[in-house]
Structure 1
């Protein structure tokens, strides 16, 4: 049964529904990665990641990719998984943490983003952090570059603009596509 394949949790069911919506012709679907758990791993991070967050996410995303591939839809469906920031490279226990177990704080200098499907070359790891995982090792990519990569994968030319009510052009791209992914 498909619900079993995707996992019996909100995120799994949401990805299954997203696949069904895409199959029915919906052109853009957003799924929030909730799992009825918190990804805000300020404390007790390792237990929460191992027991509650990573297994259902791995299962559901794997099922989605397999399902899209089996249905011949993966090459036309762009999948992007990203958060708004990364996590500190340093693991520590926060003052006032209820569990008293270590976690990580918000960190804007580096983060991981997952791209798959339509317009993306699979099997690539692009970019690197320093030894501590705290800062880009060289030539960091920006959120604008990530957006430009999405636009490029969707087939928007780099010269595309939208026009406001006064017919003034506004460029869509504010970064450069990450060529290693395209």
Structure 2
């Protein structure tokens, strides 16, 4: 399915970012959005996105294939309690291609899926929500893809964090912000 030789970056080991220095979750959302823009231009991300969606001729098919591929390739695992970690989408991709699976949390999942979708020309935004109403800051991040349905544009929630989530699922929260 993939050309493994051309997918390995030279700086494979330098792609883990400790983002605990960020002031708040909104800053993290902005960092994820920046990473999506940057990594969606990487040849290995573009090649993988095209390979995953081969045979698709419309955006919804591409969204579904990327979503299912990410969801089946990434198993949710919280970051260590001492810091927040975000891995680069190309490292996530290469780890999946090498080992068949990666264990990460919602921010790395969002960065990977956002980069793959953006590489295909699909507009995405980063959504952040509070999973507990007593929290002061946002605690969960996921994507929304901009799609056109019968002439109306809207953002489709894409939260592949858990295997049981379907396309369109959005964690129940009264406090969601979009970046």
TM over 0.5: no
* Larger RCO (alpha carbons 8 Å, 6+ apart): 2
Q: By percentage of residues, which structure has more strand?
A: 2
Give the TM-score of the pair, scaled to structure 1: 0.30
The higher radius of gyration belongs to: 1
Q: By percentage of residues, which structure has more helix?
A: 2
